[in-house]
Structure 1
């Protein structure tokens, strides 16, 4: 987390005995703040990493939209509704494709991701949303045991063995998460067509507020990007993708 880097460097700038290293720590902290809070640089990084959008009119018809979760949160104190994060496009966009006749069924994969038991699997929460949207229950298949992207792919591959008639698969997840997801599914022997949603990158704008003025959201979003790139590298090392 860049915030932690800045905090550590500022502490070093205060407590180090060497004046030289105190200055180096201070200037390093300021440099990180300046670079990582720049909206233009952050947007360029997102544009380079995210898998670009596929125009809806270019999509063919697919047997199943495989939806990766990670966008809902079970609240024990407010259990009478579904709580979603920014990435709700992961199920809203395939729902749009379903209504357009480009997707016939949904396969929603994802557990709770929590160490402790007692939480409703995310796949079940997304299923409830789809049912409330009028999707028939027979058009939704859920897999609620996966705790990470590797398990999403492996468990989905197991389910697909029971449905050999499903040949054309559309893989739906956030644009920043698509590289790792496609790699995991290919490794599991599941060929899919990627369909990115939930974009952090935007079109390039050369305006003063984008190039000069610092942004706290640009700074905080770097944590997610660094986390995902690190996860991709670790998955490569482990042979998951």
Structure 2
């Protein structure tokens, strides 16, 4: 039920949904004053929500900054959260989506001997409950293709959300690697909530940010003032994650 509820809320958090709702109201209402106000609100929101500089600045305040690789201490396990692949045929490779930096950085840390094993946590169950090949299994395929031995890859294929990632990972570590140290690798915008879930579950982790949506302000040129449809998506990412954080906090997951 929580899974279905979260997906429904996700739809309501889409900026395009907000804009369409206001626009439909402006076209529907017979009150001229309300119509004019709705159109003004629509145009103002459109300007704000499509401005790359505004959303980049807000995301910079939310994302956890990157850790210099030279400062990363050796850990036994690198924990990678899924949500970074897509289903596509032919099934002879791993198809990546946004956030693939997670597994890339896990591979880099492994190759630099900063971690000894990679634990991938996350399954695939859609809103109708259809079970497909888990993301963890697809990411394992990628790592083995990249030369990582199978016995250095640990899979957790049942988790559907961050809370379950933490709970299921704890069970694996307590059973098989009770004295190990772990580094948590996930997208910078999601790391705050992920770290909280793992700490709540009793898993001590060192956070490591990957998969950044932002640019440094010093690198943003005049193009950041030009409206962009990508900004609408980034607003969704930010509002979804902030709401998710406080929902998790409210129900005791953090």
TM-score range, shorter chain: over 0.9
Aligned twin of 2:233: 220
* Distance (Å, rounded) in 2 between the aligned partners of 1:88 and 1:171: 15
Q: Does 1:151 align with 2:169?
A: no
Aligned twin of 2:82: 69
- Cα deviation, 1:153-208, whole Å, max 9, x if unaligned, reads 00000001113454321000000110110000000000100001000011004633
* Distance (Å, rounded) in 1 between the aligned partners of 2:114 and 2:74: 4
Q: Does 1:100 align with 2:112?
A: yes
SS at match of 2:190: helix
* Distance (Å, rounded) in 2 between the aligned partners of 1:127 and 1:213: 40
Higher alpha-carbon deviation: 163-172 or 38-47: 163-172
Q: Does 1:91 align with 2:103?
A: yes
* Distance (Å, rounded) in 2 between the aligned partners of 1:83 and 1:52: 27
SS at match of 1:187: helix
- Shift of the alpha carbon at 1:95? 0.3
Aligned twin of 1:11: 24
Q: How does 1:1-241 map to 2 (within 5 A)?
A: 1-75=14-88, 77-114=89-126, 115-205=128-218, 207-210=221-224, 212-241=225-254
- Cα deviation, 1:211-236, whole Å, max 9, x if unaligned, reads x3211111222111111111111111
* Distance (Å, rounded) in 1 between the aligned partners of 2:140 and 2:222: 44
SS at match of 1:65: strand
Structure 1 runs of 4+ aligned residues shifted over 4 Å read: none
Give the TM-score of the pair, scaled to structure 1. 0.95
SS at match of 1:176: coil
Gaps of 5+ in 2: 1-13
SS at match of 1:161: helix
Gaps of 5+ in 1: none
Say if 2:80 and 2:120, in contact at 8 Å, map to a contact too: yes
SS at match of 1:22: helix
